[in-house]
Amino acid sequence: MGTDPLVSVVIPSYNHEKYIESAISSVLNQTYKNLELIVIDDGSQDRSLELIRQFKDPRLQVHAQENAGAHATINRGLEMAQGDFLTVLNSDDLYEPERLEICLKRFADNPDLGLVSSWINVIGSEGNLLGVKQGWENMQPWDLGDPDRSFRKTGSFSLNLLSSNYVATTSNMLWTRAVYQAVGGMRDLRFVHDWDYLLRVASQFPCEQVEQPLMRYRIHDSNTIHSNYDWMMFEICWVITANLNRFFGSQLFNKEELSAEITDLDMLYESINFQGNEKLVWLIQNYLTHLTQQGHPSPEEELIHNKTLREFFISKVKKPVEDQAPSRPPVLHRLHSHLKKVKQRMF
């Protein structure tokens, strides 16, 4: 293996006995061999842990714990990791065989990069191909306005993240140890911990997308994203409100000319869609300002961790109206086929 950098892959496993063997095999069978695989079973109630322990490979570590949730399990794995590069694979997803090799070449070609993602093969529960997610170019989860006036015209990895999580999943990120040391782990979010992490990274480090599908993201009925629309929508509003200002002065509003600022304002207006929850966003923003003025050490996390506050904000989410057809329809209006279920997940 010589001087090949070590890649640490973390798989948080939970109740995916149908898929976990394929996920593990897709890592161990990578064309890039210098890797460690850390699998943490998060209190599965099915045969997942039994199936995991059947694998015999010196690169594999297996750990079991009581259920702690996805973000905590991922963070535990990242803390254990020894690699120069870090990545996560959800236990129902798969890597294409050359994923790590191709992504690492991007880092070799551009040592300043902090994170790399790729296009995605979107598959159904039985592995059937539903489509190819080409970053921000297709399968938008909601109407994102005029592409000639929105962030899409910039071709910017980071700015397009402000419109939607086109990277789509925790499984589609490979990042450096330097990024991890600067940004830390995932925050305690149920639906958007990957999107939040991406925004925190992309506001500080150059990132690139490989225009080739290098992983398979699986759509099935037990995806977390299907479980609670109101909670999901609150986190979507929160993740933009909490992270938008990270881009001010560096990637937005970074020129002195007023005309340039007007252009940025127009792109921002055309690029962000809160599904009719603008009042909720206003409320979140002003309460965060209040907490900051009161000297709260972590106002953003307070809205996540304080159950009373979180439930209040969730209660203010505007419900999708089935009998209306607004110009910017809510996510659930698009769920008429497997492919449109894909669009729901790609926020």
Q: Are residues 44 and 174 in the same domain?
A: yes
- CA 211, CA 163: separation in Å to the nearest integer? 19
188 lies in the same domain as 125: yes
Q: Two tokens at 186?
A: 């995932």
Domain boundary among 222, 241, 256: 222
pLDDT bracket for residue 222 (50, 70, 90): low
How large a percentage of the chain has pLDDT more than 70?
Answer: 90
φ, ψ of residue 180 to 5 degrees: the values are -60, -40
Written as one string, the DSSP assignment of 41-54 is EES-SSSHHHHHTT
In angstroms, the CA 216 to CA 205 distance is 26
- Structure token digits, residue 273: 């869609």
Give the predicted TM-score (pTM) of the model.
0.89
Give the span between the Cα atoms of 50 and 248, in whole angstroms.
49
**Domain carrying residue 293:** 231-344
Please report whether residue 312 resides in a domain: yes
Indicate the residue among 222, 239, 273 that finishes a domain: 222
What does the pLDDT read at residue 225?
A: 52
Give the tens place of pLDDT for each residue, 246-291: 999 999 998 889 999 999 999 999 998 898 999 999 999 999 999 9
Are both 114 and 149 inside the same structural domain? yes
Tell me the two tokens of residue 314.
């969730």
185 assigned to some structural domain:
yes
Give the per-residue pLDDT at 337. 42
Distance of CA 50 to the CA centre of its chain: 29
Residues 249 and 188 in one domain: no
Q: 238 and 216 share a domain?
A: no
Which residue in 268, 238, 237 sits closest to 251, CA to CA? 268
CB 78 within 8 A of CB 40: no
Instruction: Tell me if 2 is assigned to some domain.
Output: no
Neighbours of 33 (CB within 10 A): 13
Mean pLDDT of the chain: 89
Flag whether 337 is in a domain. yes
pLDDT in tens, 262-274: 999 999 999 988 9
Contact residues for 156 (Cβ-Cβ < 8 A; gap 6+) = 251
* Residue 251 covered by a domain: yes
Closest C-alpha to 80, from 139, 131, 39, 127: 39
Q: For 92-147, write each residue's pLDDT tens digit.
A: 999 999 999 999 999 999 999 999 999 999 998 888 999 999 999 887 887 777 78
- Higher-confidence residue of 47 and 342: namely 47
In terms of Cα–Cα distance, which of 33, 114, 123, 177 is closest to 345? 123
* 319 and 192 within one domain: no
Q: Is residue 212 included in any domain, yes or no?
A: yes
In a domain, 130, yes or no: yes
Residue 151 and residue 246 in one domain: no
Same domain, 70 and 167: yes
Q: Say whether both 236 and 192 belong to one domain.
A: no
Asked whether residue 274 falls in the same domain as residue 307, the answer is: yes
The confidence score (pLDDT) of residue 148 equals 85
Query: Based on the domain organization, do 216 and 244 belong to the same domain?
Result: no
Q: What is the pLDDT of residues 133-191, one digit of tens each?
A: 999 988 788 777 778 888 988 999 999 999 999 999 999 999 999 999 999 999 999 99
What CA–CA distance (Å, rounded) separates 18 from 147? 40
Determine the Cα–Cα distance for residues 8 and 135; give it in Å rounded to an integer. Answer: 24
Give kind and range of the element (H or E) at residue 95. strand 94-95
Residue 24, SS3? helix
Residue 1 lies in a domain: no
CB 11 within 8 A of CB 24: yes
Per the rule left: phi > 0, alpha: psi between -120 and 50, beta: everything else, 244 is alpha
Q: How far apart are CA 131 and CA 323, in angstroms?
A: 29
**Domain termination site, one of 155, 188, 222:** 222
For residue 57, which phi and psi values (nearest 5 degrees)?
-150, 130
Q: Pick the residue with more confidence: 332 or 288?
A: 288
Q: Are residues 188 and 327 in the same domain?
A: no
Percent pLDDT > 90 in the chain is: 77
What does the block give as tokens for 276? Answer: 């009719």
> Which residues lie closer than 8 Å to 159 by C-beta, 6 or more apart?
151, 247, 251, 252, 267, 271
Q: What is the mean pLDDT of residues 5-32?
A: 96
- Domain count for the chain, please give it: 2
